[in-house]
Amino acid sequence: MTIAAQQVKEIEPEPWEMGDGHRLKGRVDLSLENDQGNSPSRDLGIDFMLSYRRLRDELESYRELAYETTRGVKSTDNWSLNNKYSRFFKDSRWYGSAWLRLKHDYFADLQLRYLVWPGLGYKFFEGPGLNLRAEIGPIYLNQEFYEQDDTHAWGPALFLDYDQNFWDDHLQLHHRSMGYASLGAGDPDLWVSWTGLRMPMSWGVVGSLEYKINYDSDTAPGTKSTDTTLRLEIGYEW
């Protein structure tokens, strides 16, 4: 049986799998946001994602920013920055990671929160059409507030990251989440997740619809424990 050359798809390994390359990926999104919670509003936001992989090492950074004034009065002021370093074990789906997550939310009375943790992760799937990984590890949590007392705590955390392409790669379902349970009585439990649909267009342009949930069990008096955001985004990825 003879198969025409144009029917044969060449499978090329990723550059780091060959031991002599690297990979740089990124995306920048501008979003129209509908926020419900401590600062209910409709405003503009911006976020970016950057990932660099070389051999068994990977650096990732993700940032969100939302700031708006109405008639000269601040109506939205929050941002977050997540940084991670991963080291993949040789010939294995297991990897070790180190996280630094920062968050500020003026209307939740949160001046600065930072979380630091070492993690152990496993990649169940990795490829152009399907990715799924999970990490666990202990977190050190530090929170500085404008009005209430600062807090410090330890506890276990679970991180999930999933994306999968459908409709001949014209549509992508994605989900990222982080859950944290404090060990001390009265210390906060946290949950943050992003779930959405992303549609690649031409020349690197991407449109997406995303829903974010941000839960904090120990908020300042007079503030809500849950913030939700619905985003309509247009971005560019490479």
Q: How far apart are CA 43 and CA 34, in angstroms?
A: 7
Contact 96, 85 (CB under 8 A): no
Work out the percent of the chain whose per-residue pLDDT is above 90. 55
Q: Which region among 43-47, 91-95, 114-118, 126-130 has the lowest average model confidence (pLDDT)?
A: 43-47
For 191-217, the pLDDT digits (tens) are: 999 999 999 988 999 999 999 999 988
Q: Which region among 48-52, 160-164, 180-184, 205-209 has the lowest average model confidence (pLDDT)?
A: 180-184
| Predicted pLDDT of residue 196 | 96
Residue 74: pLDDT band with limits 50, 70, 90: low
Work out the percent of the chain whose per-residue pLDDT is above 70. 85
For 13-61, the pLDDT digits (tens) are: 555 454 556 889 999 999 888 877 766 667 788 899 999 999 899 999 9
**Predicted confidence (pLDDT) at residue 9 exceeds the cutoff of 70:** no
Residue 181: pLDDT band with limits 50, 70, 90: very high
Domains and CATH numbers, the chain: 84-237 (2.40.160.40)
**Predicted confidence (pLDDT) at residue 69 exceeds the cutoff of 80:** no
Q: Which region among 145-149, 157-161, 208-212 has the lowest average model confidence (pLDDT)?
A: 145-149
**Over residues 137-158, mean pLDDT:** 92
